[in-house]
Amino acid sequence: MSLNEEIARRRTFAIISHPDAGKTTLTEKLLLFGGAIHVAGAVKSNKIKKTATSDWMEIEKQRGISVATSVMGFNYGDYKINILDTPGHQDFAEDTYRTLTAVDSVIIVVDVAKGVERQTRKLMEVCRMRNTPVIIFVNKLDREGRDPFDILDELESELKIKVRPLSWPINIGEKFKGVYNIFEHSLDLFTPDKQRVSERVEIDSVDDPRIDEAVGETDAAKLREDLELIEGVYPDFDVNEYLEGQVAPVFFGSALNTFGVKELLDCFVKIAPAPRPTQSEERLIEPQEEGFSGFVFKIHANMDPNHRSCIAFVKICSGKFERNAPYKHMRTGKTLKFAAPTAFMAQKKNVVDEAYPGDIVGIPDTGNFKIGDTLTSGENLHFKGLPSFSPEMFKYIENADPMKSKQLDKGVQQLMDEGVAQLFTNQFNGRRIIGTVGQLQFEVIQYRLEHEYGAQCRWEPISLYKACWIESDDVEALAAFKKRKFQFMATDREGRDVFLADSNYVLQMAQSDFPKIRFHFTSEF
Ligand code: G4P
């Protein structure tokens, strides 16, 4: 197969949801259709259960599971599908943001009873920043939930994206009878069954009397009424609008009952984008280019603390990746060869000889890589840094064992390279501040520093609201701001200026007092 054909058949995406909406279940059902697994229940959730916050063995075990399920590749018909898994626990949201930089599209799972929840809103913001095409799967139709029209309105207003239903449920909860597929004009009847695929009724159009026979006259009439309303309210589905991230097609189903999943998958492979061009600082890189290029979007520490080896996950952006070929590591300028790169098929890792744009290869690493690193077959390229978002929680990190300060420094540096949290250095007093999305990350850092690096750390409180990356075209204004706020100025790991606002009020005052300064809540602007 030619490079172009290999690229055209690839679909690399992530499934995102608020915890418990059904991401793991949906992933598993997709694998079932791809023949990658044969029984339901084979995919372990990489969800770190809420109760496990202080159960370290459990967290370590679950970190192990998430290596196995980090990328799941399988063939479906002529397509090669790569699902990138994202951590379920919101304390690891930063990991999810980065994974979203490595996908070409996204499926969002929403619980029909709960609607749009907080984490989904946040993740959608990241998709919007990059115009990532989004398909929405409204799940758990077998349970009582909201009216589908209300859900559509909520999706639109909460996720700030136009929606277009491509399937429509006939009732919900106990009376749920099936889904009318607007995309293909077919009817699928629901039978609660975890293993079996739904029953399809052949119909010619929405007026076909076979619909009345299948679901009864009342429900058939209601369906026709609903469809008429949909056609009246929502413009026709335009695949280009979807590809530009302007409109999100919506499907309804029940992942647990394998219902509506095949329809979703069949539509997904048809409309979802093949690997898209990637922006580097130098130029736009097309996947079809001959030269290989890729970037590290995730680093996974090994389970064995005695061997500080990791797996770096590289997203291939262009050209063909080959085992043992010399590649340039842009940050260090070194030429590296990879003898044992792994590909992820089904739930197995295998050494691969070659891989194509859209694929992810896992490279065993002993500390060469940092998140965001670029690899190429020679050209000097730098993929745009992966975005950091302002952390939600901050603490000073202090050395609790003066004999081990080297170990602590090294540990902190490597954990930050891995993207576990963000490090800021206060420009005024030189103290180090760790910023995280959740409390669990502080616990993980402390635990890993001790067990992997033999270092002891202590946390000290600091009350901060947000970290803002600042910039200005006016050098004097910037200098004046930094002078005024000197106690609250910090430097991130790339050496950029960051203002640490201790309250929303202070931030708003700063914004109005210094109109020439631009305040950013992400490092990518
Ligand atoms: P997550 O990865 O998004 O966190 O969600 P997950 O798939 O683990 O699903 C969360 C819970 O919702 C699971 O139940 C799962 O069985 C259930 N679920 C998923 N899809 C459906 C659906 O279509 N209908 C119904 N009724 N339930 C669904 P659990 O009891 O938390 O876990 P388990 O013990 O069943 O694994």
Report, as an integer, the average pLDDT of 225-254: 95
CB-CB contact of 112 with 176 (8 Å): no
In this structure, the residue with its CA closest to atom 30 of ligand 1 is: 20
Atom of ligand 1 nearest to the CA of 143: 26
Position 375, amino acid: L
Band of residue 53 on the pLDDT scale cut at 50, 70, 90: very low
In this structure, the residue with its CA closest to atom 6 of ligand 1 is: 22
CB-CB contact of 302 with 363 (8 Å): no
Report, as an integer, the average pLDDT of 470-489: 94
Distance, in Å, from the CA atom of 157 to the CA atom of 162, rounded to the nearest integer, reads: 9
User: How many angstroms from the chain centroid is the CA of residue 261?
Assistant: 20
How far does residue 153's CA lie from ligand 1's centre (Å)?
24
User: Per-residue pLDDT tens for 60-77?
Assistant: 555 544 545 578 889 999
What is the per-residue pLDDT for 300?
80
CB-CB contact of 86 with 27 (8 Å): no
Band of residue 305 on the pLDDT scale cut at 50, 70, 90: low
How far does residue 256's CA lie from ligand 1's centre (Å)?
7
User: Per-residue pLDDT tens for 430-459?
Assistant: 999 999 988 888 988 898 899 888 999 999
Pairing state between β 360-365 and 310-318 = antiparallel
pLDDT of 310 over the 70 cut: yes
In this structure, the residue with its CA closest to atom 20 of ligand 1 is: 256
How far does residue 202's CA lie from ligand 1's centre (Å)?
30
In this structure, the residue with its CA closest to atom 19 of ligand 1 is: 22
How far does residue 121's CA lie from ligand 1's centre (Å)?
20
The average confidence (pLDDT) of the chain is: 87
pLDDT of 351 over the 80 cut: yes
- % of the chain residues with pLDDT over 70: 89
Give me the residues paired with residue 115 across strands: 111
Q: Which of 25, 69, 119 to mutate to test the pocket of ligand 1 (most atoms within 8 A of CB)?
A: 25
What is the per-residue pLDDT for 204?
83
- Tell me the whole-structure pTM to 2 decimals: 0.85
User: Per-residue pLDDT tens for 24-48?
Assistant: 889 989 988 887 666 655 555 544 4
How far does residue 193's CA lie from ligand 1's centre (Å)?
14
Atom of ligand 1 nearest to the CA of 257: 23
Q: Any residues with Cβ below 6 Å from ligand 1, and which? A: 17, 19-25, 45, 47, 88, 139-140, 142-143, 254-257
CA distances from 56 to 310, 443, 454, 473, 478 (A): 19, 9, 16, 48, 45
pLDDT of 372 over the 80 cut: yes
How far does residue 324's CA lie from ligand 1's centre (Å)?
42
Report, as an integer, the average pLDDT of 359-373: 89
Atom of ligand 1 nearest to the CA of 18: 3
User: Per-residue pLDDT tens for 331-349?
Assistant: 999 999 999 998 877 656 7
pLDDT of 90 over the 70 cut: no
How far does residue 255's CA lie from ligand 1's centre (Å)?
8
Band of residue 51 on the pLDDT scale cut at 50, 70, 90: very low
